[in-house]
A and B are shown apart, each in its own frame.
Chain A
Amino acid sequence: MEPPAKEQPWLMRTYSGYASARASNQLFRGNLAKGQTGLSIAFDLPTQTGYDSDHGLARGEVGKLGVPMRSLEDMETLFDQIPIERMNTSMTINAPAAWILALYLSAARRQGADLSQLRGTTQNDILKEYLSRGTYIFPPKASMRLAAEVIRYTFHRIPRWNPINICSYHLQESGADPVQELAFTLANAISVLDAVRDAGDIASADFPQVAGRFSFFLNSGIRFIEEMCKVRVFSRMWDRICRERYGVEDPALRRFRYGVQVNSLGLTERQPENNIARIIYEFLGVVLSRSARARSVQLPAWNEALGLPRPWDQQWSLRIQQILAHETDLLEYGDIFDGAPVIARKEKTLEEAAQAELDRVLEMGGAVEALENGYMKRSLVESNARRIREIETGRRVVVGVNRFTEGEPSPLTAGLQETFLTVDDAVENEQIEALRVFRSRRDGARAARALERLLEAVSAGENLMEASIGCAEAGVTTGEWADGLRSLFGEYRAPTGVSGVAGGGGASEEMRAVKRRVRQLSDLLGRNLKLLVGKPGLDGHSNGAEQVALKARDVGMEVVYEGIRLTPEQIAESALQEGVHVVGLSILSGSHLKLVPEVIRGLKERGLEKLPVLLGGVIPEDDIQKMPPDSIRRVFAPRDYNLNRIMSDIVDIVAAANSVTLP
């Protein structure tokens, strides 16, 4: 008997890029040498939000969560000795996707590549940025135009490119349940496809090819049977949408092509070695079923909840995939779930609920409308609040966190702080200097002309890709490109989603006790306890801030929450004008050392030096020592999942700061 024919495994990626184009280039070359089969590029937050490294809002963020990409020069450095033509490059870039693609194409052209042969993916999925990830720049309709232009351009010029990668990943990280994940993601895809179709430059006979280029980026949580059913339902619903709404006849073009990063939300800071088990089970959900198997998978590192993973941590995650693909017999079989009645039933329930929710969104006018009117964000915040309540009450078990918490000290985490990959603060200054040199060396007049051309193209309603490539080649920077468009499109603040959320199901005894204490303290203070929740800097991960704001309201506080991307100055000013009793800052990007002292200074300038300030995020002990002495009353880490306890602590801190004693 012949050995069974093995399926091709999925693409194995790791998400990387940091510090500088030069350093990231070395990291990439190392990963490629280890057998990694695709590149996945992370950009730093200033790049993702369209700011140059020397912009005020970029402070503390340059090179921190990814590579800074300001100009064609950076892109060429990033791909130094890496042949772009032979790469399959995935770029996590959204609001400025058209720009980053323009840089990539220009760099490829300079390497002498045949552009029509390039392969890769631009994430280019803007809606989830407003809902979850936070790196949006322009208002939704303008963003939708840019996204559609990337798709139309690549369709005509780079036919093998995946111009958009619609993400449900971040929706799950923001609390979406499988039904919401299905419905909102598909609504999103529909709104983009509609926009491309309505632009009218793709013949209707060619349109199925466009639909066929759409790919998706999913999340996979720990309930892996349900997750597997979810991906199968995704396949079926997408197939139906393509056929019925867009008349795609060829089944190959209706295939639900997706990549996966498994869930980071469920990874724990306590007993972090358990995360390896979680990662493996979550991984199974998206590879077990052959008919709905992921095309590419990236697994987080086991210690991601603690900070930025090292190359060794990433290698471990890569090995998990290699073992499943090459040692086990998984790839020798067809679909092992087709025809299983239990699976079919589960899928039916999921699909009906998802279709109903999708219909609701479409009835509102589609994903853009359901975004602008706050419906989708509110739904996610609600779901996440439910999830946290379940963990608090123990209804949802998290091993090592709310069950089986006793354990041996881990040899893996001993001395982890010191060996952690951290980005040197000097990097930021070097990058700012490099940018200054770049600007002084380029032909300024040429860059200005290219920018002018870009703005003309905006007003004329042209596809902006050509003009953007013109800008790339003329030495325009990322910040300049985005500023130019900001001047015409305007900027946007997405709905925070917290306002309309109903209070969560029956209060526990613990919560009632906190409520009582809030009322007592409010009476003693003479005004209702008022909290400002602030998110300084570019970090868009607002789950924590949202849940704290919501819980604070539910225990009777008055809460001012203005959403993401505030300057330290804005936060201090709001604290003053609103007359709050306490300020809570949430910073997850690691830039607390820059941002916190600035907020403290702002408060001091306004005579609010006595105002208690709390901090939430992943903040190493050493860093707390480096902040202005006594400026931070308390630091909450992700391990502080019990929000009632946090609220109770806030009451104590405010009482102490105002020298009142609770009965």
Chain B
Amino acid sequence: MDLRHAGISLEDIRSGKKTAIAGALNLLENRKPDESGLAAELIEALTRIARPRRHVIGITGPPGAGKSTLISRLIREYRSMGHGVGIMAVDPSSRRSGGALLGDRARIEHDPGDAGIFIRSMAAGRHLGGLAWRTRHCLTLLEAAYDRILLETTGVGQSETEIEQVADSVVYVVQPGSGDSLQFMKAGIMEIPHILVVNKADLKNPALKAFHELQGVAGLSGPREDGWTPALIRVSALEGWGQDQLVSALEDHYRFLSAGDLEKRRRRHRIQWAYLLFLERFGSQGAERLGGEERIFKRLDGLDVSNPFSALHELAQDMART
């Protein structure tokens, strides 16, 4: 079966038709083997029509930091700039039942009648690391339909690392007076976020305290290895200030990336993705057979990874040869 027979129109996706986007997401999330060929085909097509000026922004931070409220403000800013916004909100799944309450949608203020906004909630499932198993698949779709893509995850340790592997820019949100900033420093992830936000900055003293604590953190005082100096911003989503600064910091980072490593970064993300697809298919035993993670990454680096599924195909042939 091909895409057209499956009722999927790339043209409709590109023009932001919500029924088309929703239908394609349902397909991309599907784990039935007979659907996966179609999904691979769709992803290949989507990578060809990705929006050239797209910006994928990961927003993470501990529960209660106000990520959803912050996203509401970003939506408003981006919409007033004329950008379409696609949002993917990942919630943790219950360990016990595998079920999930997807509550972010309720907290993201938006006009449901606005044709330029699309919000999809996903459950992280049993996949460790804070992203859902199909997040990458689904992001590809939003990247073809919207200029700004916001990915929300709850920061519980590993997710910051994983969000770094899919987003162009990573925003880490803390709330004052919660010990979030200390947590952040202890977590050893200071190198990850490009922008740090002290949310709820209307809480005057605790907010200043958190601000100064973060300012003191190594990595914020000067440029990082990649040459980017992380931005530290105070936002009060409640009183409605600071979000414009956040937007301009994001635009700065995007310009910084575009002038330098953006394509390299995205290529690295796809190599990572191809490797995950390989693991999904062949497991860690398969990885051993091909000489381990490092060897596989090197191999992938020599391949065209614009479509991770064709890279996976190459690796599968390697497997057949061993």
Contacts and interface: CB of A to CB of B under 8 A. Distances in A.
Contact of A496 (B93, B103, B113): B103
B105 A562 contact: yes
B121 A560 contact: yes
A562 B106 contact: yes
A574 B104 CA distance: 12
Contacts of B91: 499
A576 B120 contact: no
Contact of B118 (A560, A567, A577, A606): A577
Interface stretch (A12-20, A172-180, A278-286, A549-557): A549-557
A201 to B, nearest CB: 25
A579 interface: yes
B99 A552 contact: yes
Contacts of A232: none
Interface string A501-535: 00100000000000100110000001110000000
Given A559-B102, A578-B102, A579-B120, A503 B96 contact: yes
A552 B98 CA distance: 11
Contact of B98 (A519, A606, A607): A519
A39 interface: no
Interface string B180-206: 000000000000000000000000000
Interface in A554-574: 554-563, 567, 569-570, 573-574
Interface in A369-422: 373
B134 to A, nearest CB: 9
Interface in B53-90: 64
Q: Is the interface of B mostly helix, strand, loop or mixed?
A: mixed
A556 B106 contact: no
Interface stretch (B26-34, B226-234, B288-296): B26-34
B43 interface: no
B29 A527 contact: yes
Nearest to B24: A579
B123 A558 contact: yes
A187 interface: no
Nearest to B19: A607
Contacts of B136: none
Contacts of B119: 577
Contact of A549 (B101, B112, B123): B101
Given A526-B31, A559-B102, A607-B19, A578 B121 contact: yes
Interface residues of B, number: 34
Contact of B100 (A553, A567, A577): A553
A573 B112 contact: yes
Contacts of B102: 558-561, 578
Contacts of A527: 26, 29-31
Contact of A563 (B18, B94, B106, B121): B106
A552 B123 CA distance: 14
Chain A, interface size category, equals 35 or more
A577 B97 contact: no
Most buried by B among A373, A553, A556, A563: A553
B106 A493 contact: yes
Contacts of A144: none
Given A573-B112, A577-B22, A503 B94 contact: yes
Contacts of B311: none
B96 A574 contact: no
A662 B100 CA distance: 22
Contact of A553 (B99, B105, B120, B121): B99
A186 interface: no
28 contacts: A373-B64, A496-B106, A503-B96, A515-B97, A526-B29, A526-B35, A527-B26, A528-B123, A553-B94, A554-B94, A554-B96, A554-B97, A555-B97, A555-B99, A556-B98, A558-B100, A558-B123, A559-B99, A561-B101, A561-B103, A561-B106, A567-B112, A570-B112, A573-B112, A573-B113, A577-B118, A579-B25, A606-B19
Interface of B: 18-19, 22, 25-26, 29-32, 35, 64, 91, 93-94, 96-103, 105-107, 109, 112-113, 118-121, 123, 125
Interface of A: 373, 493, 496, 498-499, 503, 515, 518-519, 526-528, 549-550, 552-563, 567, 569-570, 573-574, 576-579, 606-607
Interface pairs A-B: 6 shortest CB-CB: A526-B32, A526-B30, A553-B99, A562-B106, A499-B103, A556-B99
Given A554-B97, A579-B26, A579-B120, 10 more contacts: A373-B64, A526-B29, A526-B31, A553-B100, A555-B99, A556-B99, A559-B101, A561-B102, A578-B121, A606-B18
